[in-house]
Amino acid sequence: MTAMLHKNDAVFRLSLFQEFPTLMHYRGFGGYEALAKAVESNPTSIIETLAAAGLRGRGGAAFPTGLKMQMVRNNAERERYIICNADEGEPGTFKDRFIMTHIPFQLLEGMTLAAYAVGAAKGYIYIRHEYPEAQQTMHRSIAAAKAAGLLGDNILGQGFSFDVEIFSGAGSYLCGEETALLSSMEGKKGRPRLKPPYPTQNGLWGKPTLINNVETLANIPMIIGRGAEWYRTLGTLDSPGTKLISLSGDVEQRGLYEVPFGTTFNQIIEEYGGGMKNGRRVKAVNIGGASGVVVPPWELDCALEYHSCGERDITIGSGAVFVMDESRSILANVHNRVEFFLHESCGKCTPCREGLRQAGRIIHNLLSGKAVMADVDNLERYTRAMQNAAFCGLGQAAGNSLISSLRYFRSEYEAACFDYGNQYQREGITA
C-alpha cells in the first residue's frame, strides 16, 4: 500500500513503513515541529489556521474542524476532553488502522495540538477491540511521547499539560456514532443520545468534548507546520487537502491511497487501482462503505469533492470504495449490507428495527425467487420511511445502498420477481 502523491506534497507520511515507527524516526521527518511552534503562540491561532485551511471531519460527517474546536473552547466550563474516534467499524474501511500502526506519532501530535487549542488536559483514543495491533502500537507510542516530554506534564517546558489514554471498544458499529461512543465510555449501553445538547457542549461526563476521527486529527500537524495556504494548494477550492481512500473489490491494486480532492472516481479506479481485474468492466461501485451508495459506471466521472458529490447524491463517507465487476449481483451486495445493519442496529427505534427487518425479508425473497413486483415498491417505501424517521445516523444511512441501487439498478430487482414477465404482458410490452 503506497501513497500516489509525492512525499513533499502529501499530508500523511505514508512512506514511514516499518514494524514500529519510532519517535526518532518521526522527528527525523519534522515530527513535533508543529507542536513546538504552536505552544509558543496563542492557542486560538491553531483554530484560525485550521478554519482558514478548510479542514473538515474525515469520519464521514465532514463538519468544519476549526468551528467544532471553537465551540469547545467557547465553553465557560474549564474541564474539557479530547476524544479520538478510532472505532473504525465501516466495512471496507481500513485507513484509521493504518495511521495508528504506521504513523502513530502524527496522530498523537495532532491530538496534542487540538488539546492545546481547546484547553483540554485529558484525551482518549477509542479503539475498536478488533484492532489489537493498533492498540499495542498506540500504547507504546504514548509511552515514548511521555518519556520525551511530548505528553504529560509541562510539555516542551511551556506549562501545558496533556495526557492520553486508550479506551478499548467492545466491537459495536453503533459506537462509531459520537454520542453512543460517549455512553460506552461512561459505562452505559452504547446507544445514541438525543441531540442537542451536542458533545461540544455536554460530552464525556457532562463536560465539553471535542470528538474527531483519526484521519482528521492526523491532518493537523502538517497544516499547522506548513500553513493554511500550503494546504489549500492540495485539492480544490471547495474541498482542500487530500483524502485517504480504502480501495477494494475487483481492481488490480487494492490498498490504501492518499488522493487529492478533485480526483475523479474513474481516476481512483484506473490510476490508483490499476484498472479492473481480468479485463472485465465496471458494473457498479459502492462509495462510502456499507452506509454509502451504489453507483453505475456513468457516475464515476464525478470528482471526489463534497459539493460535486452532494449534487449527485454520492456520500464520500469514510472514503471506502468497493468496485464490482459485471459478474457481481447487486441484490447480493445490498443484501449483505442490510444483514450487517440488521445485526448492528440497537433496536431502540421502530423505523430502524422494523425497517431493516422488512427490507431483509424482501431481499431474501427476491434472491430466492419468491418476491412479486409489489415487493420492490414496498422495499423502497420502507427504506425511505426508515431514512426519514430513524433516531440516529445508523438507521438514516442504512438505506443509502438500497435507495441508490433501486435508482440505478431497479431492473435487476424487478427481474428477480416471479411475476416479472406477467407485469410486462399486462402492460402489452414484450419482455
- Both 213 and 101 in a single domain? yes
The secondary structure element, H or E, covering residue 260 is strand 255-260
Res 7: pLDDT: 45
211 beta partners: 83
Which neighbouring-strand residues pair with 302? none
Q: Answer yes or no: is 17 within a domain.
A: no
Nearest to 167 by CA among 209, 198, 201: 209
Distance, in Å, from the CA atom of 235 to the CA atom of 261, rounded to the nearest integer, reads 4
**59 is a domain residue:** yes
First and final CA of the chain: distance in angstroms? 47
- Give one DSSP letter per residue of 359-374, joined into a string: HHHHHHHHHTT---HH
Is residue 40 within 8 A of residue 86, CB to CB? The reply is no
Is the residue at 5 inside a domain? no
Condensed to tens digits (0 to 9), the pLDDT of residues 225-254 reads 999 999 999 999 999 999 999 999 999 999
Kindly state the cell numbers that stand for 299: 457516475
Let me know whether 259 and 192 are in one domain: no
C-alpha cell recorded at residue 371: 418476491
Q: What's the grid cell of residue 257?
A: 491511497
**What sign does the dihedral 24-28-33-36 (CA atoms) show?**
positive
Quick one: how far is CA 206 from the chain centroid?
Answer: 25
Low-confidence ranges of the chain (pLDDT < 70): 1-9, 13-20, 421-431
In a domain, 237, yes or no: no
Residues 6+ apart with CB under 8 A from 140: 20
Residues 65 and 106 in one domain: yes
Indicate whether 221 and 256 sit together in one domain.
no
User: How far, CA to CA in Å, does 219 sit from each of 118, 120, 152?
Assistant: 17, 19, 22
Sole residue written with cell 467499524: 89
Instruction: Clarify whether residues 189 and 164 are in a common domain.
Output: yes
* Residue 209, domain CATH: 3.40.50.11540
Q: Which letter does DSSP use for residue 235 in this model?
A: B
Q: Are residues 145 and 270 in the same domain?
A: no
pLDDT tens-digit profile of 347-382? Answer: 888 989 999 999 999 999 999 999 999 999 999 999
Beta bridge partners of 152: 162
Does one domain contain both 82 and 217? yes
Give the span between the Cα atoms of 179 and 162, in whole angstroms: 23
Judge if 91 and 165 occupy the same domain. Answer: yes
* Residue 267 sits in the same domain as residue 339: no
- What pLDDT is stored for residue 242 in this prediction? 96
Q: How many domains does the chain have?
A: 3
Output DSSP code: residue 240.
B
Cell of residue 415, nine digits: 427481474
What is the rounded radius of gyration, in angstroms, for the C-alpha atoms of the chain? 23
Residue 55's contacts (CB-CB under 8 Å, 6 or more residues apart) are 64, 65, 66, 216, 219, 220, 223, 231, 240, 241
Instruction: CATH number of the domain at 383, please.
Output: 1.20.1440.230
SS3 call for 124: strand
Whether 62 and 96 share a structural domain: yes
- Tell me 41's DSSP state: S
Number of Cβ within 10 Å of residue 307's Cβ equals 11
Same domain, 337 and 315: no
- Strands, DSSP E only, in 132-254? 152-155, 160-168, 209-213, 242-249
Report the distance separating Cα 212 and Cα 57, nearest Å: 7
Domain that holds residue 305: 242-289+296-322
Helix, strand, coil share (%) of the chain residues, nearest 5: 45, 15, 40
Return left, alpha or beta for 379; rule: phi > 0 is left, psi -120 to 50 is alpha, else beta: alpha
Residue type, 126: Y
Torsion 266-290-283-358 (CA) sign: negative
**Cα separation, 25 vs 27, whole angstroms:** 6
Dist CA 320 CA 289 (whole Å): 5
Q: Same domain for 187 and 252?
A: no
On whether residue 10 sits in a domain, the answer given is: no
Q: What is the pLDDT, as a whole number, of residue 1?
A: 35
Instruction: Give the strand pairing for 81-86 and 209-213.
Output: parallel
> What pTM was estimated for this model as a whole?
0.92
CATH number for 250? 3.10.20.600
**Does 391 reside within a domain?**
yes
Q: How far is CA 379 from CA 315, 362, 402, 413, in A?
A: 21, 7, 8, 10
User: Would 12 be classed as within a structural domain?
Assistant: no
